[in-house]
């Protein structure tokens, strides 16, 4: 928003200075006509002032264009950060969706009990085997067998925690 205010300010100043320059050039033109501009000293001064005024008009045009750019084309930092945040959010959603797709592909060839166990592990990283027993309604032996198979396939890792194990996924799903 600050660049728009700056753009308005620059455009306003260049318009005011432009009017001043054009009125000055008009007065120079009137003086040139009153002297009939023979090669005299006064006519040479008027001609050089006309040259300087043309340079000033070019400079004012540049300032006007800069103000126009700031007003309409320059994106402020807040807008740029807004777009950057949106882009990061989209990228994060994409990676999360990819991870979910990978996990769903992993679940396809598994039977129902294995799906229950793996889904429970994904829902709570570091879940204990005894907690898995209650979440999946499977026997302790069945859970142990499934976890051993998953360990052989390098899908999970177990860490001892007292008389039971904590179970973690090895890959980032």
| Cα–Cα distances in angstroms (integers) from residue 17 to residues 4, 23, 52, 129, in the given order | 20, 10, 14, 81
149: enclosing H helix or E strand: helix 140-152
Both 44 and 63 in a single domain? Answer: yes
Specify which residues 156 forms β-bridges with.
169
136, with CB counted inside 10 A (0-12, 13-18, 19+), is: buried
Provide the domain limits for residue 165.
Answer: 110-169
Both 58 and 21 in a single domain? Answer: yes
Both 64 and 84 in a single domain? Answer: no
**Total domain count, the chain:** 3
Both 43 and 25 in a single domain? Answer: yes
**Predicted confidence (pLDDT) at residue 72 exceeds the cutoff of 70:** yes
**Predicted confidence (pLDDT) at residue 38 exceeds the cutoff of 70:** no
pTM, rounded to two decimals: 0.48
Q: What is the mean pLDDT of the chain?
A: 82
**Predicted confidence (pLDDT) at residue 1 exceeds the cutoff of 80:** no
Both 70 and 119 in a single domain? Answer: no
């Amino acid at each position: 928003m600050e660049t728009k205010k700056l753009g308005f300010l620059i455009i306003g100043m260049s318009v005011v200075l432009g009017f001043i320059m054009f009125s000055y050039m008009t007065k120079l033109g009137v003086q040139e006509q009153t002297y009939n501009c023979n090669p005299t000293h006064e006519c040479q001064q008027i001609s050089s002032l006309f040259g300087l005024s043309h340079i000033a008009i070019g400079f004012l045009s540049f300032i006007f264009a800069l103000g126009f750019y700031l007003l309409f084309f320059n994106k402020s930092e807040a807008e740029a950060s807004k777009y950057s945040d949106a882009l990061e959010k989209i990228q994060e959603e994409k990676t999360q969706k990819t991870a979910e797709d990978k996990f769903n592909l992993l679940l396809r060839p598994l039977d129902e009990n294995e799906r229950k166990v793996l889904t429970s592990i994904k829902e709570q990283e570091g879940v204990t085997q005894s907690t898995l027993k209650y979440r999946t309604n499977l026997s302790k032996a069945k859970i142990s067998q499934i976890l051993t198979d998953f360990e052989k396939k390098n899908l999970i890792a177990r860490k001892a925690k007292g008389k039971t194990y904590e179970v973690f996924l090895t890959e980032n799903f």
